[in-house]
Amino acid sequence: QSALTQPASVSGSPGQSITISCTGTDNDIGGYIYVSWYQQHPGKAPKLMIYDIFNRPSGVSDRFSGSKSGSTASLTISGLQAEDEADYYCSAYTSVDTLIFGGGTRLTVL
Amino acid sequence: EVQLVESGGRVIRPGGSLRLSCAASGFTFDNYVMTWVRQVPGKGLEWVSAINWNGGVTGYGDSVKGRFTISRDNAKNSVYLQMDSLRAEDTAFYYCARSRRAHSSGWYNFDHWGQGILVTVSS
């Protein structure tokens, strides 16, 4: 099963908002609520930022929000901060009982 | 505090076998789905395998199905990944992670991760 499609990179200035897209199919993103987003800083383990399309785990800033339309999910980060610079990965549960990740998006805060 | 500590990574020749372990603490281990995710250095995340609370249900990614076996020992608060017929493309950091929700019915999202362990498959 192919990975979900994410842009390789996005950038924004401090205080701005950015959106990262994640495109799949009806057999993954389009078929279930189990879409998640992870943040990964260099040399660190991934951190869950959004689960079940739009929910934030305790402790995650409300500057992070998630949404879904059809087979495309999105992560929006508002009020960009330098500490947001990281790699972001989407993931989705699939119809064949597996989990797939997107290829990852490198966020640069200018 | 939830802690996950992976061990067992090393350099191994192609065709060889290796077992990774993940020791868990700080939570009721047998309430949670556990998973392994790998990452080739400098590349993206790839889901490898997951196991339900009692080991009765498992899942695998296509690239490892038939070669890797996940298991758990709830008495030892540990999850394992037996890797057979290793290939150069299995070289990666391997992370174990815990499902976000206790008593989850599947492998959907993961809120605690280990630090990762490097497996290098090379002759």
- CA-based angle B107:B50:A31, to the nearest 5? 35
Q: Does A102 touch chain B (CB under 8 A)?
A: yes
Residue B99: predicted pLDDT:
95
CA distance B48 to chain A (A): 9
Q: Does B113 touch chain A (CB under 8 A)?
A: yes
* Contact assignment for B47 to A98 by CB distance below 8 Å: yes
Q: Does B3 touch chain A (CB under 8 A)?
A: no
What are the strands, taking DSSP E only, across B18-102? 18-25, 34-39, 45-51, 58-60, 68-73, 78-83, 92-99
**pLDDT digit string (tens) for A77-88?**
999 999 999 999
* Contact assignment for A104 to B44 by CB distance below 8 Å: yes
Residues of A with CB below 8 A from B97's CB? 46
Residue B41: predicted pLDDT:
95
The three-class DSSP label of residue B74 is: helix
Q: How many helices (H) and strands (E) does chain A have?
A: 0, 9
Distance CA A28, CA A35 (A): 9
Averaged pLDDT for residues A81-107: 97
**pLDDT digit string (tens) for B47-90?**
999 999 999 999 999 999 999 999 999 999 999 999 999 999 99
Residue keyed to tokens 């998630």: A66
Instruction: List Cβ neighbours of B56 (8 Å cut-off, separation of 6 or more).
Output: none
